[in-house]
């Protein structure tokens, strides 16, 4: 356990200072993953195997990149509570943590009891119960994963959060769907005959801004998720696109063209008080607000190819942020504002990268070849993006900053793209 | 009086089909033209109803509606100047004519940046038209970016997606 806490300390230190990205790269692979065995929860009553609580926990912990799941198939005596744990056996399997639990069913109610056990210290770390309906089995699994994740990493988990994305159906219908962060429970919020792009969840969680082509040109709508209302907030001459929420959810940075090149404006969420942010002789697009609200990062072709710049809103001083490569687009900031993710064109292959804004070190997170639209999880530990193999439909994937664990987001459908992630509290 | 009345309706119809600015207070002064305001003066001659639709449908140049661009390029290539100038001339001769220049980009890269690249191509065609007498208020440049592009094109196949389509409102 001593070496374990050291490793953990190192990982957390790296995340919190956000300086030593290169070190994570060197550790790489499985070196910094904790080995965890998730014992089946005797929840066979839950009809779909994927919805069984232990499988939800396994999937969550694995996706985070902090945990390596130890297989329990073939193990004869699986414990259902911490008293039954054979520590010698589990340390022999090199398990560092055990998740043990059981489900008691009473009509449509389930009571889930679970324990998190430290194998090396032979100690019970957490023991809790959850009660809910059978339908809430997945949510209970996500809550358990969140508690375990926060206990081990010191950072709240995001397994209960939602994502929204655009699903292309036979290239004829375009659905704006909201689902759990792992793709389950997808529901359509908007269905259109014309493309939808650039979905952006408001920081207060209540709305999603997006670009629709339903007026035969790009215009910006804001969908209220609570009331179901939607409002056309920008329909100026030319294109209206790339909405970006201010941290207080009261303003949108948008891109307008009139009869000229893409330029960035700021307006109130209801569409009023439109102000031009700056004038540039070339394309300015894809604005994104820094979490402190003091600056806006954006893409500009002012230097030739597209690069990422930032403008300080008080001084109106602009500076270039990316220097490596000839094509860098789709910037998004981590919740602490210290990391920038974007897409870089690396010899014809479009990859997700992350740049430390203090050291300006750039780290590649994916191999390409057609990755797009990266967005940070609300805790900054994962990035959701669109991936596409040659000749195939687009899919959503997550990649963890810790260990670069890449996992498919199984929404039950293909041709998903242009995703956004809800805030913590939705 | 009657004539004026019909002119008003014609304008209303034309304006109704183009973008309906719900909050167009901030149109930039440079390059963008005067939008709906300038359209109103142009609409006076719409009363004549002389849009010469037959010409649009039969003229060998005016029936050509797509302008293609090289990879990562935005200049109108010399072989398309005749077509672009013919449309500009048509617009100059028919002040009531309103056209949309719809730019496109191939699928590679970000949706938003491709939207901007398609727009840059549309503006490039508009600039040529301006020099040939077409008024900015007759033209709306928009972009579909990569949204109508072949999402699996390779090599030369992708050339089709780097283009600007010309369409008229009355059609």
| Minimum CA–CA partner of A240 in chain B | B142
Residues whose CB falls within 8 Å of the CB of residue B14, separated by 6 or more in sequence, listed in order:
B39, B43, B46, B96, B98, B169, B170
Q: Is residue A176 domain-shared with residue A101, that is, in the same domain? A: no
Q: Which H, E and C letters describe A242-262, residue by residue?
A: EEEECCCCCEEEEEECCCCCC
In-domain check, residue A310: yes
- Chain A hits for B136, Cβ within 8 Å: 259
Report how far apart the first and last C-alpha atoms of chain A are (Å, whole number). 36
Interchain proximity B142–A418, CB inside 8 Å: no
Domain boundary among A110, A128, A153: A153
Into how many domains does chain A fold? 2
On whether both A126 and A253 belong to a single domain, the answer is no
Domain range holding A104?
33-153
Query: Could you tell me which residues of chain B have a Cβ less than 8 Å from any Cβ in chain A?
Result: 18-28, 30-33, 35, 100, 102, 108-113, 115-117, 119-120, 123, 126, 136, 139-145, 147, 151-152
Contacts 24+ apart (CB under 8 A), B15-18: B15/B39, B17/B169, B18/A237, B18/B98, B18/B100, B18/B140, B18/B169
Rg (CA), chain B: 17
Same domain, A168 and A209: yes
Q: Which residue of chain B has the CA closest to A418?
A: B111
Residues of B in contact with A325 (CB under 8 A): none
Residues A347, A348, A349, CA angle at the centre, nearest 5°? 95
Closest CB to A276 among B26, B112, B142: B26
* Closest-CA distance of chain B to residue A188, Å: 20
Same domain, A213 and A140: no
- Find the angle CA(A143)-CA(A147)-CA(A150) to the nearest 5 degrees: 130
Q: Do B119 and A391 touch (CB under 8 A)?
A: no
Q: Does residue A183 sit in the same domain as residue A315?
A: yes
- State whether A268 and A184 are in the same domain: yes
**Residue in B19, B28, B32 nearest the CB of A235:** B19
The verdict on A138 and A169 lying in the same domain is no
Q: For residue A205, what is the DSSP state?
A: S
Which chain B positions have a beta carbon within 8 Å of A301's beta carbon? 116
Q: Which residues in chain B have Cβ-Cβ distances shorter than 8 Å to A232?
A: 22
Q: What is the pTM of this model?
A: 0.87
First CA to last CA distance, chain B: 28
| CA of A97 vs chain B CAs: smallest distance (Å) | 41
| Residues B28, A258: C-beta atoms closer than 8 Å | yes
Domain boundary among A153, A179, A209: A153
Under CATH, to which class is B50-168 assigned?
alpha beta
Q: What pLDDT does residue B114 have?
A: 97
Is residue A45 in a domain? yes
| Nearest neighbour of A285 by CB, restricted to B27, B113, B140 | B113
Domain ranges (residues) in chain B: 50-168
Question: What pLDDT, in 10s, does the model give residues B48-79?
Answer: 456 778 889 999 999 999 999 998 889 999 99
- What is the model's pLDDT at position A13? 36
pLDDT for B50: 65
Residue B119 contacts residue B141 (beta carbons within 8 Å) = yes
Domain boundary among A135, A153, A171: A153
A274 lies in the same domain as A376: yes
| A239, part of any domain | yes
Q: Is A50 left (phi over 0), alpha (psi -120 to 50) or beta?
A: alpha
One domain for residues A361 and A385: yes
Rounded to whole angstroms, the Cα distance separating B8 from B128 reads 30
What does the pLDDT profile of chain A (426 residues) look like in tens digits?
334 443 443 343 334 333 333 323 333 444 578 999 999 987 666 777 888 999 999 999 999 999 999 999 888 888 988 889 999 999 999 999 999 999 998 888 999 999 999 999 999 999 999 999 988 999 999 999 999 999 999 999 999 999 999 999 988 999 999 999 999 999 999 999 999 999 999 999 999 999 999 999 999 999 999 999 999 999 999 999 999 999 999 999 999 999 999 999 999 999 999 999 999 999 999 999 999 999 999 999 999 999 999 999 999 999 999 999 999 999 999 999 999 999 999 999 999 999 999 999 999 999 989 999 999 999 999 999 999 988 899 999 999 998 889 999 999 999 999 999 999 987
Per the CB < 8 A criterion, the answer to whether A209 and A221 are in contact is yes
Nearest CB to B119; choose among A198, A261, A350: A261
- Percent pLDDT > 90 in chain B is 62
Assess if residue A4 is contained within a domain.
no
d(CA A347, CA A329): 15
Task: Write the CATH number for A266.
Answer: 2.120.10.30
Beta strand B139-145 pairing with B99-104: parallel
Do A124 and A222 belong to one domain?
Answer: no
Q: Can you tell me the distance from the alpha carbon of A323 to that of A76, in angstroms, rounded to the nearest whole number?
A: 56
Reading the block at residue A194, the tokens are: 């014309």
| Residue A83 and residue A167 share a domain | no
Q: Give the three-class secondary structure for A202.
A: coil
Q: Which residue of chain B has the CA closest to A213?
A: B144
Provide the pLDDT for residue A76: 84
Nearest by CB to A259, which of B18, B111, B123? B123
ipTM summary value: 0.90
pLDDT digits (tens, 9 = 90+) for B4-50: 333 333 333 333 334 444 444 445 543 333 333 333 333 334 434 56
Mean local confidence (pLDDT), B151-170? 94
- Note the pLDDT tens digit of each residue in A279-328: 999 999 999 999 999 999 999 999 999 999 999 999 999 999 999 999 99
**Do the domain assignments include residue A350?**
yes
β partners of residue A233: none
Residues A148 and A171 both lie in one domain: no
CB A329 to CB B110 under 8 A? yes
Residue A245 lies in a domain: yes
């Amino acid at each position: 356990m001593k070496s374990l806490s050291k490793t953990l300390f190192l990982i957390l230190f790296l995340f919190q200072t956000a300086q030593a990205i290169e070190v994570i790269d060197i550790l790489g692979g499985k070196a910094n993953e904790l080995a965890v065995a998730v014992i089946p929860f005797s929840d066979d009553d839950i009809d779909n195997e994927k919805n069984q609580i232990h499988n939800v926990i396994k999937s969550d912990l694995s996706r985070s990149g902090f945990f390596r799941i130890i297989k329990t198939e073939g193990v004869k005596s699986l414990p259902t509570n911490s008293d039954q744990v054979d520590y010698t056996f589990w340390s022999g399997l090199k398990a560092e943590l055990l998740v043990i639990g059981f489900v008691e069913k009473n009509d449509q109610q389930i009571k889930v009891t679970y324990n998190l056990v430290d194998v090396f210290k032979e100690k019970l770390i957490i023991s809790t119960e959850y009660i809910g309906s059978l339908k809430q089995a997945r949510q209970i699994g996500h809550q358990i994963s969140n508690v375990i994740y926060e206990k081990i990493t010191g950072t709240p988990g995001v397994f209960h959060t939602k994502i929204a994305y655009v699903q292309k159906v036979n290239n004829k219908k375009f659905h704006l769907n909201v689902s759990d962060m792992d793709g389950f429970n997808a529901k359509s919020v908007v269905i259109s005959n014309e493309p939808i792009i650039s979905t952006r969840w408001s920081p207060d969680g209540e709305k999603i801004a997006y670009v629709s082509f339903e007026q035969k040109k790009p215009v910006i709508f804001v969908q209220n998720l609570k009331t179901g209302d939607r409002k056309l907030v920008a329909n100026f001459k030319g294109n209206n696109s790339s909405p970006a929420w201010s941290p207080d959810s009261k303003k949108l940075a948008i891109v307008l063209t009139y009869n000229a090149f893409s330029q960035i404006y700021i307006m109130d969420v209801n569409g009023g008080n439109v102000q031009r942010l700056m004038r540039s002789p070339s394309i300015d697009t894809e604005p994104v607000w820094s979490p402190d609200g003091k600056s806006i990062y954006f893409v500009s072709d002012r230097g030739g190819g597209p690069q990422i710049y930032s403008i300080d809103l008080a001084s109106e001083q602009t500076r270039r942020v990316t220097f490596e490569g000839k094509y860098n687009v789709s910037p998004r900031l981590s919740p602490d504002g210290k990391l920038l993710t974007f897409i870089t064109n690396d010899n014809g292959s479009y990859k997700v990268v992350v740049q430390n804004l203090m050291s300006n070190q750039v780290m590649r997170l994916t191999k390409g070849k057609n990755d797009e639209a990266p967005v940070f999880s609300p805790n900054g530990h994962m990035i959701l993006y669109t991936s596409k193999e040659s000749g195939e439909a687009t899919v959503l994937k997550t990649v963890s900053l810790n260990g670069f664990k890449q996992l498919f987001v199984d929404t039950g459908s293909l041709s998903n793209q242009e995703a956004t992630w809800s805030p913590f509290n939705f | 009086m009657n004539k004026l009345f019909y002119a008003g309706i014609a304008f209303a119809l034309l304006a109704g089909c183009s973008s309906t600015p719900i909050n167009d207070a901030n149109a930039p002064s440079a390059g963008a033209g005067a939008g709906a305001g300038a359209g109103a003066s142009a609409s006076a001659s719409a009363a004549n109803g002389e849009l010469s639709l037959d010409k649009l449908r039969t003229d060998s140049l005016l029936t050509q509606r797509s302008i293609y661009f090289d990879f990562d390029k935005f200049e109108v290539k010399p072989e398309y100047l005749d077509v672009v100038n013919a449309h500009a001339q048509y617009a100059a001769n028919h002040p009531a004519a309103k056209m949309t220049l719809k730019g496109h980009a191939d699928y590679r890269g970000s949706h938003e940046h491709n939207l901007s690249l398609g727009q840059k191509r549309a503006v490039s065609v508009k600039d040529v038209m301006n020099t040939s007498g077409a008024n900015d208020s007759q033209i709306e440049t928009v972009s579909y970016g990569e949204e109508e592009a072949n999402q699996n094109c390779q090599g030369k196949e992708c050339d089709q997606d780097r283009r600007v389509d010309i369409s008229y409102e009355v059609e």
